[in-house]
């Protein structure tokens, strides 16, 4: 039987030899924060014009949402493989590999746009979705070594770090597009070329700085606390390895009502946010907004998503995960009401999109903390990958249907249908909270 991965053995030894765990936490947090800034920049620069690019290459408003939808589907499909890779090799290898795949995806998008090949563009967008896989999984990397009472704040710190790049990204989308002028590439594809470079930088940084690996170190700590650190290979194979599969993730979620609430909150919040957000640039453009104004509205939305996440983390640790999940549902409901009734009022659309981001932040941070709380350590990597697969699959379906809904019924109906998705999330949360 093969021994444990070398880095796990090193992490275990370091923990047992009394290395300053606070110093390890600070180093991991720094690496994750810097990579999130870069990752947020790469994703948001491109996503601001993704629907515009899809409409230009696809030739129809009805397919405008398919670009972002393909990215979300790619994120969903890649969540489990990368989660399995992290379970075997740690966060560093998994996150670095995800950014590498995203960089290749950006190049494929640019190639598809230059050839005006819509299917190829969608394939590139699916691979580009690996960037979101890395960005989302980074929040769980922050939770690996966090103290339980501060877990939501640890998650929110990494989510917050995305603010800098994510807010800047949409505002440089237009200049990024102009850099490809004369290359035979549509202007809306320029941000994807920028994204490729940024993702390569983020992956290289994590490869160099994310040491010791937080997930592998957390496992070593757990074994040391159980008193079976000396069991080595057997402990790692029987317990950590046994929790890596999709079946293990399903079993852990099925066994915990709290995990089911967390999964519903994460998936519901993300689906509502993506479904409305991907079609907002098209709606704004239809009401006379230019690229710069669209970029500002999306920047406000992304500010809501990330800038206030520390507040959501603090609230989730202080007043409870369930209360903040319900707060997120309320914010998302208000957001869809404002955005859906704007009818060309750009200020109202901007306010709605800001609240949409704020509600997403509340649901994601509190749901992620609750999910990590609710399952045993050895099953967390599988459950976290399963969670991201579900949330992005649901959001991918919502994004795919959003273009059709807008084309057939209008943007207002899209917001109404999105709001209806919040009802079962609220009911499940209340039902489980009452039984606690």
pLDDT tens column, 202-215: 999 999 988 888 98
* Res. 15: pLDDT tops 80: no
Q: What is the per-residue pLDDT for 227?
A: 64
Return the pLDDT at 2. 35
Percent above pLDDT 90 for the chain? 40
pLDDT in tens, 52-81: 788 888 877 767 778 877 887 888 889 888
Number of helical H runs and strand E runs in the chain:
21, 0
Distance CA 425, CA 222 (A): 33
Is the pLDDT score of 1 beyond 50?
A: no
pLDDT(219) > 70: yes
For residue 10, what pLDDT is reported? 41
Q: For 19-31, what is each residue's pLDDT tens digit?
A: 677 888 888 889 9
Residues near 120 by beta carbon (within 8 Å), at least 6 away in sequence: 108, 111, 112
Cα dist. 400→87, 233, 363 in Å? 31, 45, 22
| C-alpha–C-alpha distance, residues 159 and 175, integer Å | 26
184 backbone φψ class: left, alpha, beta (φ>0; ψ -120 to 50)? left
pLDDT class of 248 with cuts at 50, 70, 90: confident
Task: Report pLDDT for 47.
Answer: 77
Query: pLDDT over 70 for what percent of the chain?
Result: 90
Confidence of residue 14 (pLDDT cuts 50, 70, 90): very low
CA max distance for the chain = 67
Mean pLDDT of 303-326: 94
User: What local confidence, expressed as pLDDT, does residue 246 receive?
Assistant: 66
Angle at 29 between CA 155 and CA 363, to 5 degrees: 10
Q: Which of 297, 95, 126 is nearest to 199 (CA)?
A: 95
Among the residue ranges 52-66, 122-136, 141-155, 262-276, the one predicted with the least confidence is: 52-66
Domains of the chain: 14-435 (1.20.1250.20)
Residue 149 DSSP symbol: G
CA distance 371 to 253: 9
76-105 confidence digits (pLDDT tens): 889 888 988 988 888 999 999 999 999 999
Q: Please state, in angstroms and as integers, the Cα–Cα distance from residue 167 to each residue in 48, 136, 161, 354, following that order.
A: 11, 17, 11, 12
């Amino acid at each position: 039987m093969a021994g444990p991965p070398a880095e796990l053995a090193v992490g275990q030894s370091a923990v047992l030899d009394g290395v300053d765990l606070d110093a390890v936490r600070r180093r991991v947090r720094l690496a994750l924060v810097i990579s999130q800034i870069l990752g947020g920049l790469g994703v948001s620069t491109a996503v601001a014009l993704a629907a515009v690019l899809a409409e230009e290459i696809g030739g129809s408003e009805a397919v405008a949402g398919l670009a972002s939808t393909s990215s979300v589907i790619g994120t969903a499909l890649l969540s489990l493989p990368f989660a399995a890779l992290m379970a075997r090799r740690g966060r560093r290898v998994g996150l670095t590999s995800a950014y590498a795949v995203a960089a290749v995806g950006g190049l494929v998008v640019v190639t598809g746009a230059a050839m005006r090949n819509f299917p190829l563009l969608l394939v590139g967008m699916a691979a580009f979705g690996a960037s979101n896989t890395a960005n989302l999984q980074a929040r769980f990397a922050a939770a690996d070594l966090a103290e339980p009472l501060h877990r939501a704040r640890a998650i929110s710190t990494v989510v917050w770090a995305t603010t800098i790049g994510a807010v800047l990204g949409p505002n440089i989308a237009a200049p990024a597009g102009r850099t490809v002028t004369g290359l035979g590439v549509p202007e809306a594809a320029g941000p994807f070329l920028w994204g490729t470079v940024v993702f390569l930088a983020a992956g290289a940084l994590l490869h160099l700085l994310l040491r010791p690996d937080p997930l592998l170190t957390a496992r070593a700590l757990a074994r040391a606390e159980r008193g079976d650190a000396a069991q080595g290979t057997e402990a790692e194979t029987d317990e950590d390895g046994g929790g890596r599969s999709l079946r293990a993730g399903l079993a852990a979620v099925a066994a915990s009502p709290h995990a089911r609430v967390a999964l519903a909150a994460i998936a519901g919040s993300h689906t509502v946010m993506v479904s409305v957000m991907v079609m907002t640039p098209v709606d704004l453009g239809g009401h006379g907004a230019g690229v710069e104004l669209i970029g500002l509205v999306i920047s406000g939305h992304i500010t809501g998503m990330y800038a206030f996440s520390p507040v959501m983390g603090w609230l989730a640790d202080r007043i409870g995960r369930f209360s903040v999940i319900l707060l997120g549902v309320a914010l998302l409901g208000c957001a869809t009401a404002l955005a859906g009734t704007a009818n060309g009022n750009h200020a109202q659309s901007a306010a709605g999109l800001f609240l949409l981001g704020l509600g997403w932040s509340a649901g994601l941070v509190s749901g992620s903390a609750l999910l990590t709380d609710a399952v045993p350590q050895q099953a967390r990597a599988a459950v976290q990958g399963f969670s991201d697969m579900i949330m992005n699959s649901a959001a991918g379906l919502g994004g795919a249907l959003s273009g059709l809904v807008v084309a057939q019924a209008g943007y207002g109906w899209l917001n109404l249908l999105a709001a209806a998705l919040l009802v079962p999330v609220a009911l499940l949360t209340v039902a489980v909270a009452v039984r606690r």
